[in-house]
Amino acid sequence: MLFTIIIIIEFLCLFTALLTLTKAKPAWWKSFIAFMVFTCIIEVIAYRAYFVHHVSNHGIFNIYLPVEVLFVSFVLYKICQPYFKSGPVFIAGSVIFLIAYFIESFKSRFGEYSSAANNIASAFFIIMCCVYYYCLLRKEETVDIVIHPAFWIVSGCFFFYFGGTACNFFFTYLSSLNTKTFIPVRYIIFIILNFILYACWSYAFICKYKHKISSS
Protein backbone atom coordinates (compact mmCIF):
# COMPACT_ATOMS: atom_id res chain seq x y z
CA MET A 1 0.00 0.00 0.00
CA LEU A 2 2.72 2.48 1.05
CA PHE A 3 4.79 1.50 -1.94
CA THR A 4 1.80 2.15 -4.23
CA ILE A 5 1.50 5.75 -2.98
CA ILE A 6 5.06 6.50 -4.13
CA ILE A 7 4.28 4.97 -7.54
CA ILE A 8 1.13 7.11 -7.84
CA ILE A 9 3.08 10.26 -6.92
CA GLU A 10 5.75 9.43 -9.50
CA PHE A 11 3.20 8.69 -12.21
CA LEU A 12 1.46 12.00 -11.49
CA CYS A 13 4.78 13.82 -11.87
CA LEU A 14 5.47 11.93 -15.11
CA PHE A 15 2.00 12.90 -16.35
CA THR A 16 2.67 16.58 -15.54
CA ALA A 17 6.06 16.38 -17.27
CA LEU A 18 4.45 14.87 -20.37
CA LEU A 19 1.83 17.59 -20.46
CA THR A 20 4.18 20.51 -19.91
CA LEU A 21 7.69 19.68 -21.09
CA THR A 22 7.25 18.12 -24.54
CA LYS A 23 8.02 21.44 -26.24
CA ALA A 24 10.16 22.95 -23.47
CA LYS A 25 13.25 24.98 -24.28
CA PRO A 26 16.16 24.65 -23.57
CA ALA A 27 16.00 21.01 -24.63
CA TRP A 28 17.57 19.59 -21.44
CA TRP A 29 14.23 20.17 -19.67
CA LYS A 30 12.80 17.36 -21.82
CA SER A 31 15.24 14.94 -20.14
CA PHE A 32 12.92 15.07 -17.10
CA ILE A 33 10.37 13.08 -19.11
CA ALA A 34 12.90 10.31 -19.86
CA PHE A 35 14.04 10.28 -16.24
CA MET A 36 10.48 10.10 -14.91
CA VAL A 37 9.65 7.26 -17.32
CA PHE A 38 12.73 5.38 -16.11
CA THR A 39 11.85 6.08 -12.46
CA CYS A 40 8.29 4.79 -12.91
CA ILE A 41 9.51 1.63 -14.68
CA ILE A 42 12.05 0.92 -11.92
CA GLU A 43 9.43 1.58 -9.24
CA VAL A 44 6.94 -0.84 -10.84
CA ILE A 45 9.65 -3.54 -11.29
CA ALA A 46 10.75 -3.07 -7.65
CA TYR A 47 7.13 -3.29 -6.50
CA ARG A 48 6.56 -6.52 -8.43
CA ALA A 49 9.87 -7.99 -7.22
CA TYR A 50 9.02 -7.34 -3.58
CA PHE A 51 5.27 -7.92 -3.42
CA VAL A 52 4.67 -10.45 -6.23
CA HIS A 53 7.88 -12.45 -6.37
CA HIS A 54 8.80 -11.79 -2.70
CA VAL A 55 12.48 -11.06 -3.40
CA SER A 56 14.57 -8.11 -2.19
CA ASN A 57 14.42 -5.10 -4.47
CA HIS A 58 17.62 -3.49 -3.17
CA GLY A 59 19.51 -4.65 -6.27
CA ILE A 60 16.98 -2.94 -8.53
CA PHE A 61 17.28 0.34 -6.62
CA ASN A 62 21.05 -0.06 -6.72
CA ILE A 63 20.86 0.00 -10.53
CA TYR A 64 18.58 3.05 -10.33
CA LEU A 65 20.90 4.94 -7.93
CA PRO A 66 23.67 6.02 -10.44
CA VAL A 67 21.04 7.07 -12.98
CA GLU A 68 19.28 9.18 -10.35
CA VAL A 69 22.50 10.74 -9.05
CA LEU A 70 23.92 11.48 -12.50
CA PHE A 71 20.62 12.96 -13.66
CA VAL A 72 20.24 15.20 -10.60
CA SER A 73 23.90 16.22 -11.00
CA PHE A 74 23.25 17.11 -14.62
CA VAL A 75 20.12 19.13 -13.75
CA LEU A 76 21.84 21.01 -10.92
CA TYR A 77 24.82 21.64 -13.18
CA LYS A 78 22.53 23.17 -15.82
CA ILE A 79 20.75 25.29 -13.21
CA CYS A 80 23.96 26.49 -11.55
CA GLN A 81 25.74 27.12 -14.87
CA PRO A 82 24.57 30.76 -15.24
CA TYR A 83 25.83 31.61 -11.75
CA PHE A 84 29.31 30.07 -11.66
CA LYS A 85 31.61 27.70 -13.54
CA SER A 86 29.90 24.61 -12.18
CA GLY A 87 31.23 22.00 -14.63
CA PRO A 88 34.40 20.89 -12.74
CA VAL A 89 32.52 20.78 -9.39
CA PHE A 90 29.81 18.47 -10.73
CA ILE A 91 32.29 16.29 -12.62
CA ALA A 92 34.34 15.89 -9.43
CA GLY A 93 31.20 15.13 -7.37
CA SER A 94 29.98 12.56 -9.89
CA VAL A 95 33.39 10.87 -10.10
CA ILE A 96 33.65 10.59 -6.28
CA PHE A 97 30.13 9.15 -6.17
CA LEU A 98 30.85 6.62 -8.95
CA ILE A 99 34.05 5.45 -7.24
CA ALA A 100 32.17 4.96 -3.95
CA TYR A 101 29.27 3.30 -5.78
CA PHE A 102 31.39 0.77 -7.65
CA ILE A 103 33.51 -0.08 -4.58
CA GLU A 104 30.35 -0.67 -2.52
CA SER A 105 28.50 -2.49 -5.30
CA PHE A 106 31.41 -4.80 -6.07
CA LYS A 107 31.59 -5.66 -2.39
CA SER A 108 27.93 -6.68 -2.36
CA ARG A 109 28.09 -8.00 -5.96
CA PHE A 110 25.39 -5.50 -6.94
CA GLY A 111 22.90 -7.27 -4.71
CA GLU A 112 22.60 -4.56 -2.02
CA TYR A 113 21.75 -0.87 -2.07
CA SER A 114 24.89 1.33 -2.02
CA SER A 115 23.86 3.49 0.92
CA ALA A 116 27.31 5.02 1.53
CA ALA A 117 27.49 6.20 -2.10
CA ASN A 118 23.95 7.55 -1.70
CA ASN A 119 25.04 9.44 1.43
CA ILE A 120 27.97 10.98 -0.46
CA ALA A 121 25.66 12.04 -3.31
CA SER A 122 23.08 13.44 -0.85
CA ALA A 123 25.69 15.52 0.96
CA PHE A 124 26.99 16.80 -2.36
CA PHE A 125 23.49 17.77 -3.55
CA ILE A 126 22.65 19.53 -0.27
CA ILE A 127 25.84 21.61 -0.59
CA MET A 128 25.12 22.43 -4.23
CA CYS A 129 21.52 23.43 -3.42
CA CYS A 130 22.81 25.79 -0.69
CA VAL A 131 25.39 27.20 -3.15
CA TYR A 132 22.57 27.80 -5.65
CA TYR A 133 20.49 29.62 -3.01
CA TYR A 134 23.51 31.73 -2.10
CA CYS A 135 24.17 32.61 -5.76
CA LEU A 136 20.50 33.40 -6.31
CA LEU A 137 20.44 35.83 -3.39
CA ARG A 138 23.79 37.39 -4.30
CA LYS A 139 22.77 37.97 -7.91
CA GLU A 140 22.38 41.64 -8.88
CA GLU A 141 19.18 41.13 -10.86
CA THR A 142 16.09 39.84 -9.13
CA VAL A 143 13.82 37.02 -10.26
CA ASP A 144 10.31 36.21 -9.11
CA ILE A 145 11.24 32.92 -7.45
CA VAL A 146 7.60 31.98 -6.87
CA ILE A 147 7.33 31.34 -10.63
CA HIS A 148 10.99 30.52 -11.29
CA PRO A 149 11.14 26.85 -12.43
CA ALA A 150 14.83 26.30 -11.59
CA PHE A 151 14.25 27.45 -8.00
CA TRP A 152 11.51 24.85 -7.47
CA ILE A 153 13.61 22.07 -9.00
CA VAL A 154 16.46 22.89 -6.60
CA SER A 155 14.05 23.27 -3.66
CA GLY A 156 12.54 19.84 -4.37
CA CYS A 157 16.01 18.29 -4.40
CA PHE A 158 17.00 20.19 -1.26
CA PHE A 159 13.97 18.98 0.74
CA PHE A 160 14.35 15.43 -0.53
CA TYR A 161 18.05 14.99 0.17
CA PHE A 162 18.20 17.11 3.34
CA GLY A 163 15.05 15.53 4.78
CA GLY A 164 16.29 12.06 3.91
CA THR A 165 19.64 12.47 5.70
CA ALA A 166 18.54 10.61 8.85
CA CYS A 167 16.99 7.76 6.85
CA ASN A 168 20.09 7.48 4.67
CA PHE A 169 22.33 7.48 7.73
CA PHE A 170 20.35 4.69 9.42
CA PHE A 171 19.54 2.92 6.13
CA THR A 172 20.97 -0.50 7.03
CA TYR A 173 19.39 -0.49 10.48
CA LEU A 174 15.97 0.66 9.22
CA SER A 175 16.00 -1.96 6.44
CA SER A 176 16.64 -4.77 8.91
CA LEU A 177 14.05 -3.26 11.28
CA ASN A 178 11.46 -3.32 8.52
CA THR A 179 12.23 -6.96 7.73
CA LYS A 180 12.19 -8.04 11.39
CA THR A 181 9.46 -5.93 12.98
CA PHE A 182 7.53 -4.60 9.94
CA ILE A 183 7.86 -1.01 11.14
CA PRO A 184 7.76 0.86 7.76
CA VAL A 185 9.19 4.12 9.12
CA ARG A 186 11.57 4.54 6.16
CA TYR A 187 8.73 4.09 3.66
CA ILE A 188 6.53 6.63 5.46
CA ILE A 189 9.33 9.21 5.55
CA PHE A 190 10.12 8.59 1.89
CA ILE A 191 6.46 8.94 0.90
CA ILE A 192 6.51 12.42 2.46
CA LEU A 193 9.88 13.28 0.88
CA ASN A 194 8.84 11.91 -2.52
CA PHE A 195 5.62 13.89 -2.29
CA ILE A 196 7.58 17.11 -1.58
CA LEU A 197 10.15 16.36 -4.31
CA TYR A 198 7.67 15.53 -7.04
CA ALA A 199 5.23 18.26 -6.02
CA CYS A 200 8.05 20.83 -6.31
CA TRP A 201 9.15 19.38 -9.65
CA SER A 202 5.59 19.25 -11.02
CA TYR A 203 5.10 22.87 -9.99
CA ALA A 204 8.42 23.76 -11.67
CA PHE A 205 7.22 22.03 -14.88
CA ILE A 206 3.98 24.05 -14.78
CA CYS A 207 5.96 27.29 -14.22
CA LYS A 208 8.20 26.36 -17.14
CA TYR A 209 5.15 25.71 -19.32
CA LYS A 210 3.51 29.02 -18.33
CA HIS A 211 6.77 30.84 -18.92
CA LYS A 212 6.97 29.34 -22.42
CA ILE A 213 3.40 30.41 -23.17
CA SER A 214 3.92 33.97 -21.91
CA SER A 215 7.20 34.38 -23.83
CA SER A 216 5.90 32.97 -27.14
Partner 1 sequence: MQVQAQDIVFLVILTTCIFLIAAFFLFGYVVLYNKKKRKHFEEKEHMQQAFNQQLSQSRMEVQEATMSSLGKELHDNVCQLLSSSKLLIAFSMRNLQEIPPTLKTADETISQAITSIRSLSKSLDKEWLEQFNLIENLHTEIDRVNATSTARVFFSCPENLSLKTDQQIMLFRIIQEGMQNALKHAGATDINITLSETPEHVMAAIADNGKGFNHNGENNKKGSGLLNIRSRTNLLGGNAMWDSTIGQGTSLTIKIPSKSV
Quickly list H helices, 21-86: 31-51, 58-80
In angstroms, the CA 204 to CA 68 distance is: 18
In angstroms, what is the minimal distance from the CB of 199 to partner 1?
13
172 binds partner 1 (CB under 8 A): no
The alpha carbon of residue 161 and the mean position of all alpha carbons in its chain are separated, in whole angstroms, by 8
* Cα–Cα nearest to 36, from 19, 58, 60, 56: 19
Among 7, 189, 199, 206, the residue binding partner 1 under the rule CB under 8 A is 189
Minimum CB distance to partner 1 smaller for 31 or for 178: 178
Among 52, 146, 215, 216, the residue binding partner 1 under the rule CB under 8 A is 146
In angstroms, what is the minimal distance from the CB of 200 to partner 1?
10
In angstroms, what is the minimal distance from the CB of 93 to partner 1?
20
159 binds partner 1 (CB under 8 A): yes
* Cα–Cα nearest to 69, from 45, 93, 48: 93
CB 209 within 8 A of CB 21: yes
In angstroms, the CA 2 to CA 88 distance is: 39
Radius of gyration of the chain (CA): 18
In angstroms, what is the minimal distance from the CB of 136 to partner 1?
7
130 binds partner 1 (CB under 8 A): yes
127 binds partner 1 (CB under 8 A): no
Q: Which residues bind partner 1 (CB under 8 A)?
A: 130, 133, 136-137, 141-146, 155, 158-159, 162-167, 170, 173-174, 177, 181, 183, 185-186, 189
